[in-house]
Each structure stands twice: as structure tokens, then as C-alpha cells.
Structure 1
């Protein structure tokens, strides 16, 4: 017997206690109805649990049956609590099929849902995680046209996994202390962002996040999730008052990280608040003009035209040459190697060059 079946079998409405008591004292329902000043049909609804015991009814029962009103009101409260618990369990039972579509293993690892096989318990955690009342509301928000989420995932192959990754970013953003958005201040930080990329100190991720927050931009690092092939995303949340850039460690590549960051930053600086940009999903067709603008901005931030021209003229690349080039143009060797390998794909397997590329892996998400 399941927990739901057990609770249903043990459920007893206050009317059962009323019936037991009048049976004990030898009073019929008709007589009780007369003494209470109610019709027999109305009393029968009370006995069967179809009508609640009000304060007025509890007071009258106290006079007629000699049992305090507080007893009947407490009995009604307990019954309603048990009834609510059963209704909640029934609702969660109806959500079991919906649960199956989510990347449950990854979500357990991230601590989003409890480490259990009980799908009703998992459904409860998922509803709370997405802040929705039922699977229907989740579908409305993430697969339909919604005021809460401005891009439809219905055409993606894994909308559940993608929605989990995006929702994680919103929860991470809620943990940040972010100033009011200041576009000018954000633009003024561009040279600082490039310096952080060049220096690559131990706390570079924290430095970058802090600088963004001081300008009113929420920057979060969300570990990659299976079946959500996303590099990064940018959008405005909290009724378009807070810009959010969310980056994954999908490639674990330093050059890819910084290109994604500057690409998403361009969307925030130059494109509308109503747009949502998700990079890496072939099923979502982006605005080609805006994507080209973002790509161009990111390319300029990574390497100046002069540096890019110098790379184009070079035909032999060694680790020593890259290190010297790095100092000349004040850009991290890992980013330079990434740019070289994009221009010369045969160098992706060059061991000496690859040693200059730092790996990017994010910490465990704490919600």
C-alpha cells in the first residue's frame, strides 16, 4: 500500500465523530438537525464531510452534545490538513510522467533535487525549483509564449534540460549583490575586463563577477548539463531591470570562455531588453544581424586589429613565439592559441601550444 493509499484509508471527517456520538446517546440525525436548527439534508452534508464545521456550528454542537466548540474546530482543522495533504500527494502523483523528461542524475549531482527514486518527491522539488504550480504552467512558461520567459523551447530537442540550466542561472543571480545597472560604467570596465583576461590570477572569475556586479550586471557561472549544449546566454530578468549573463564550462576552454563573455556582453550593451540570446542551440534561430554584431565585438575585445594582422602574417607558431606575442599585445597566451587554432585547425593537436591553454571548470552550484 502506498503512502497515498494509506492516508486515504485512514481519513476520517468530523462527521464520523458526530455520528458515533449521537449513536452512543441514542439520537437520530433528524433530532440533531432539529436541535441545531438545521435541515436534515444540511446536517447530512456535515456528517458526510461535504460541508465544514464553522465556528457557529461548533458552538451549537457544544450546547447540544456537551462537547466544547474548540474540540469540533480542532477536529475540522486536522481533517482539512489531512485532506490537503492527500490532495497534494494526488497532484504530485499526476506529475510523475512529467518528471521523466528531466536530466535527473545531473540535477541530483547539483543538489537541485533529492537523491531519491520517489518521483512524487522529485516532482515536488521540481515544482519548487521552477516556481510553478503544475507541469502545465512549466510548459506554458518554457514552451509557449510567456511573460516570465521570452523564448520558446518547444522546438528544441531537450527543453527540460535547457530550462534547468537557465533556471539555475536565475537562482545564482539571486544570490549576488548587484548595483543598479549603469551602461556607461559597464563600458568603462572594458579595459579592466581585458586586463583580467590577460593576468589570469587565481581569483579571476571572482574579479570578473565583482566588476560586473558593480555596474549592475549579474554574471553567473553555471556548470554544463548533459543534453543542454549551451555555451552562454544573456537576457534581462526581474521585469527587465537586471541584465544577466550566464556562461557554461561546456568546452572548458579559456579562449571560448572569454569569447562567450564578450559576445553576451555585446547583447547587453547594444541589443534590446526583450531579447533572449542562447548560444549553442542549433534549433533556435538567432537574429543574424545581432549575432554578427556580437561576434565582431567579441573578436575586437580578444585581439586588436593590429594583433590580428600580425597573427595573419605569421606562418610558424611556437610556444616561445606565443609567449612573446602575449607580452607585446597584453593578451593571455591561451586566448592567442585559441585564435591561432581557429585560423589553423591543424594546430588543435599541437601539444606545445595546448599546454598554454588553461582549463576552465566551475565550482559546484550552491543554492
Structure 2
């Protein structure tokens, strides 16, 4: 059937379809042509014509050419009818099969799916499953497993810590899609190293301002920085992934709601880019130091030394008051939250610098999301 006037063909997606044989039957009835007569005109057998009319078989391009000659109806029209009907039937069967994967779809965090308009709260189960598959760019849950779990070493590692892998993949996909829309050139490692030496001063700015400035500076070095809020049961502080061999992407959450953790995570991911293999995805999980593998431990060491030179560790550890920590931060040109966090890690005494660590607010999280989207 033709699309309504003024509508483009790709916009016309009815939830019904007519077999081309039904159209052929109507044409024959309207013209008073018997099936046997059409068989004689086309050189086809009466059985073949009857099978088409009854919807048992379709109309191939060769048959369409014969019908064009016999009935003066363009072959393209018959082929379009047949393709549309065949596609409709195939999609209907595929959607019926998707009904078996409701539990699979339910494993993804509904709030995140709704916030990012991946699915709608009103979607039926099959529609929701199909939208999730399209979001990940895969054809089936089996393809999702092959693409987003088996092929990524970090997902196998995360499994050991009871991490929700589907939500981890959901978060990482959001990071990648955001990065794809950013206009960032190829990685310039020397420029990235140069920026890293200035990163501490960015931590002295208000969190959102510091993020915006850092994002711009990293972009100049060929690194895309993206903020996506944490999804439940992922334990993610951040991640490093690659769009291609020259396009690294850093994804950051607000895990722990502490600015020092936020900045440490950014420095940690920069460490992966400078120290470790390209094209690998590194997931920075919130786990104990003893549980971290070699690459994660190396990235931690890089981040710690980047934010505060290790030669100052003893001075930071010896600080007995909040004011002492603030003075050290001012002298080093680094955020007070960074010094307070370092003091806590070195001494396991989190009370002295608690007020200096601050807290990432809901408003700041929303602003970070807006800046990433801009």
C-alpha cells in the first residue's frame, strides 16, 4: 500500500501488512481475469498463480517482470509489496522471540534507561527489549553477551567483585556515545603529559568549573572526558576506553560523592592512557587496594604522584589539624579536598580533614551532566 500523501516512505510503518497475492487476486477480480488466463499470459503454471493468490509463496523479481507485461503494473510495485510483507513477517517473528528475554531486559537499571530516553516507561516488554538492543547496536541478547562481556577483559575482572555487568555495559555505552559526538582530535601524548603536570591547580576550582576546564584541556591533548552518573551495583569510579587507536575516552562518575575521589579518578584514567596498552578498556572499580591488579595499582600510583608529589606524604601525614592541611594545600597549589583525602589514606584518620573533603551535590551532578552534553 502507498504511504499517505506528504509522508516519506521511511516514516510509514504500519502494524499490518498485505501479502502481494491478495493484491493480485483483487486485480484479477476487478479486471475479470481468471487465474488460468493469467497463467497463459505469463507462461506460468495455474498452480504457481494459485499459490501466489493464496499467499503460499511470494512474488520474485522474475515473476514481477512477467506480471508487469501481462497486467501493465510495474514490476517494482510487485517487488516492493513482496519485500514489505516478507520484512513485516520476519520482524513479527523476531519480536515474538524477544518475548523470551524479559528477564534479560529487567537486569538493566530502569531509572537510567528512562533518564537517557533509551526506553519509555510506557513501552511494552518487546518494544523495550528491542530499544535496548538498538542502543547497544546488537541484534540479540546473545550478541550483546559476545560484544560487551566476553570480548572485554575488564568485564571478566569485574565479575570477581560481584559487579552488575549489564549496568556496567550500560554506563560504558553511554560514555562511548557521548564521546562519539565530541569534536576531539587524535591523542597527543606529549601534550597530555604536559597537562598532567598542571592538573593539581585545576582541583582548586569549584568542581564543575574545574571539570569544564579539565575537559577542554584534555580535548586539546586528544582525550575526551565524559561524566555519566553512577548506575546502581556497578562500583565504578571511572573507566578508560578507546573509540579507535588514536581516540582515548575517560568516563567519570561521582562515586563516593567526594571531590578528591573525583579528581583522583581522572588522574587514574590519564595514567592508563599514558602507561598501558591502547584499545583496552580499563574499569576503575571501587575495591580495596589489595584486590587491584597490576595495571590498576600502577594507575593509582600515577594518580597519587600527579596530584601530590610523594615527597610530601610525610608532611601531609604529620598534619594534626584541619588548618595545617589547608596551609599545605595552599602551598602546593592543590585543592584542599585532595590534601584531606591523602591525609586520610596515609593515616586512616578521616576526621581531621573531613570538613575539607567536601561533598559532590545533586546539583553539581546535574551540572556535570549538562556540561558533558554541551
Whether the TM-score (by the shorter chain) exceeds 0.5 is yes
Question: How many matched pairs?
Answer: 348
Pick from 199, 202, 205 the counterpart of residue 196 of structure 1.
202
Does 2:235 align with 1:229?
A: yes
Residue in structure 1 matched with residue 346 of structure 2 by the alignment:
343
Describe how 1:102-113 pairs up with structure 2 within 5 A: 102-113=108-119
Question: Contact (CA 8 Å) 2:343, 2:349: kept in 1 or not?
Answer: no
Q: Distance in 1 between matches of 2:270 and 2:30?
A: 77
Confirm whether residue 357 of structure 1 aligns to residue 363 of structure 2.
no
CA distance, structure 2, for counterparts of residue 140 and residue 312 of structure 1: 47
Task: Indicate the SS of the match to 1:95.
Answer: helix
Q: Is the 8 A contact 1:182 1:216 kept in 2?
A: yes
Which runs of 5 or more residues in structure 1 are unaligned? 1-6
Q: Secondary structure in 1 aligned to 2:197? A: helix
TM-score, normalized by length of structure 1?
Answer: 0.83
Q: Which residue of 2 aligns with 1:292?
A: 297
| Aligned partners of 1:150 and 1:274 also within 8 Å | no
Indicate conservation of the 8 Å contact 2:304/2:310, yes or no: no
Q: Does 1:144 align with 2:150?
A: yes
Match of 1:133 among 134, 139, 149: 139
Q: Decide which moves more: 45-54 or 104-113.
A: 45-54
Q: Which residue number in structure 1 is paired with residue 72 of structure 2?
A: 68
- Residues 1:90 and 2:93 aligned together: yes
TM-score by structure 2 length?
0.81
Counterpart for residue 332 of structure 2: 329
In 1, the alpha carbon distance for the partners of 2:50 and 2:286 equals: 61
Query: What is the DSSP-based 3-state SS (H/G/I as helix, E as strand, rest coil) of the residue aligned with 1:189?
Result: helix
Query: Residues 116-163 of structure 1, C-alpha deviation per residue, up to 9 Å, x if partnerless?
Result: 241222123212211112222111112223xxx554459455221111
Correspondences of 1:4-83 after superposition (within 5 Å): 11-22=17-28, 28-53=34-59, 57-58=63-64, 60-61=66-67, 64=70, 67-70=71-74, 73-74=76-77, 76-78=79-81, 80-83=83-86
**Aligned mates of 1:208, 1:254 — CA distance in 2:** 14
Superposition map of 1:155-174 within 5 A:
155=159, 157-174=163-180
User: Could you tell me how far apart the structure 1 residues matched to 2:260 and 2:31 are?
Assistant: 85
- Specify every segment of 5 or more residues in structure 2 that has no aligned partner in the other structure, as ranges: 1-13
Aligned to 2:261: 256
| CA deviation vs aligned residue, 1:311-357 (integer Å, no higher than 9, x gap) | 2233x222x22222221221111111112222344434x6x742552
Mark the CA change 1:305 to 1:17 in structure 2 (over 3 Å): closer, same or farther: closer
The secondary structure found in structure 1 opposite 2:241 is strand
| Higher mean C-alpha deviation, range 229-238 or range 260-269 | 229-238
Alignment CA distance shift 1:345-1:182 (3 Å): same
In the alignment, is the contact (CA less than 8 A) between 2:254 and 2:360 conserved in 1?
A: no
Q: Which residue of 1 aligns with 2:321?
A: 317
SS at match of 1:198: coil
On the 8 A contact 2:163/2:234 being kept in 1, the answer is no
Contact 2:61 2:79 in 1 (8 A): no
Pair 1:51–1:323, CA change in 2 (3 A): same
Deviation of 1:78 after TM superposition, in Å, equals 4.0
- Give the corresponding residue for 1:3: none
Q: Secondary structure at the match of 2:255?
A: coil
Secondary structure at the aligned position of 1:132 is classed as coil
**Structure 1 residues 227 and 292, CA, compared in 2 at 3 Å: closer, same or farther?**
closer
2:5: which partner in 1? none
SS in 2 for 1:298: helix
Structure 2 equivalent of residue 4 of structure 1: none
Match of 1:242 among 233, 238, 247: 247
